């Protein structure tokens, strides 16, 4: 294990988490237009003078994203030098960089070209993939030679994990779409909408709730299968995933039933990020043990 590289990779992963939460703050506070339609400048200035609160939120998000982008580039180069013979570390370093780049382009496009809500809903999911890539890269770097997890994942459980990861991205997209169309509070009541008339926003919110509910039960089922097959590594990972998705559902209900404070949706975003990170690693573990057979 390369100790210095491990620490640096863990730090970069943590900073990517901050980027995700800052992006959530931008959306929650409607600060996306805090710098007008200028990018990378802010109201035509490199450093805005007499900025409003919205400008500060948007500008700080851009600044931190730029710094994290440079850190990811440095991590990629360091990884290429330190692990010349390992293809897996190179792949995840590349994925972290390329999805960070795509995320920045989508964010810039939203400012300059005022992209649609359908496109902007992709932003959070793209950031999640970059974060998950960094997390897996960090765990791979930290592995000690000869002590890697090599417990082969049964084919049925492996396929369940693949499906769960893909379905999670779909649910994340619907949740992001809820925020971007302003449908967060479009439904009165929880878990079902209790108002007599359903608007487009209400249906968007309700569909997300149904899909999130199915994700919760899907997660429980995969956890149950891992326990039944006595697959220790997946059992441990799915225990964390079950905890995070349970808290995620709880914070979703909290938001609808009165959690209007900014920190509540940020906690919601934090939990799904943790869940996706754990699930991504478990899925990759299933994939690479299959390749070793």
What is the predicted pLDDT for the residue at 79? 93
Exposed, middle or buried by CB within 10 Å (0-12, 13-18, 19+), for 136? buried
d(CA 107, CA 102): 9
What is the predicted pLDDT for the residue at 293? 44
What is the predicted pLDDT for the residue at 1? 61
Closest CA to 88 of 37, 136, 29, 126: 136
d(CA 104, CA 112): 12
What is the predicted pLDDT for the residue at 292? 47
What is the predicted pLDDT for the residue at 233? 87
What is the predicted pLDDT for the residue at 103? 85
Which one of the listed residues 45, 58, 143, 201 is annotated catalytic? 58
Do residues 128 and 106 lie in contact, with contact meaning Cβ atoms separated by under 8 Å? no
- The rounded average pLDDT for each run of 10 residues, N- to C-terminus, in the chain (293 residues) is 88 93 81 78 81 87 90 93 88 91 82 71 89 94 69 89 96 90 82 82 91 96 94 92 94 79 82 95 88 47
What is the predicted pLDDT for the residue at 248? 92
Do residues 57 and 25 lie in contact, with contact meaning Cβ atoms separated by under 8 Å? yes
Structure tokens at 94: 């590349």
Residue 95 host element (H or E): helix 87-112
What is the predicted pLDDT for the residue at 260? 64
What's the pTM value of the predicted model, to 2 decimals? Answer: 0.89
Give the residue numbers of the binding site for heme.
Answer: 208, 268
Whether 58 is catalytic is yes
């Amino acid at each position: 294990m390369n100790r210095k590289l491990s620490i640096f990779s863990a730090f970069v992963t943590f900073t990517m988490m901050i980027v995700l939460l800052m992006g959530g703050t931008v959306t929650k506070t409607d600060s996306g237009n805090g710098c007008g339609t200028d990018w990378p400048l802010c109201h035509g200035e490199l450093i805005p003078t007499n900025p409003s609160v919205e400008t500060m939120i948007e500008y700080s998000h851009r600044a931190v994203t730029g710094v994290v982008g440079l850190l990811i580039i440095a991590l990629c180069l360091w990884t290429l030098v330190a692990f010349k013979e390992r293809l897996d570390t190179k792949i995840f370093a590349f994925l972290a960089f390329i999805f960070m780049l795509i995320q920045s382009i989508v964010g810039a496009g939203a400012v300059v070209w005022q992209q649609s809500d359908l496109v902007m809903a992709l932003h959070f999911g793209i950031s999640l993939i970059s974060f998950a890539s960094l997390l897996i890269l960090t765990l791979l770097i930290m592995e000690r030679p000869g002590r890697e997890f090599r417990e082969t994942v049964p084919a049925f459980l492996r396929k369940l994990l693949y499906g769960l990861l893909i379905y999670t991205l779909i649910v994340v997209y619907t949740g992001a779409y809820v925020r971007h169309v302003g449908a967060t509070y479009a439904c009165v009541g929880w878990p079902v909408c209790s108002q007599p008339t359903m608007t487009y926003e209400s249906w968007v919110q309700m569909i997300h709730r149904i899909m999130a509910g199915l994700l919760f039960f899907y997660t429980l089922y995969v956890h149950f299968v891992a326990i039944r097959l006595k697959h220790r590594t997946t059992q441990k990972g799915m225990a964390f995933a079950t905890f995070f998705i349970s808290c995620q559902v709880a914070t979703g209900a909290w938001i609808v039933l009165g959690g209007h404070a900014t920190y509540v949706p940020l906690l919601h975003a934090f939990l799904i990020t943790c869940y996706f990170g754990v699930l991504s690693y478990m899925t990759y573990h299933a994939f690479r043990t299959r390749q070793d057979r």
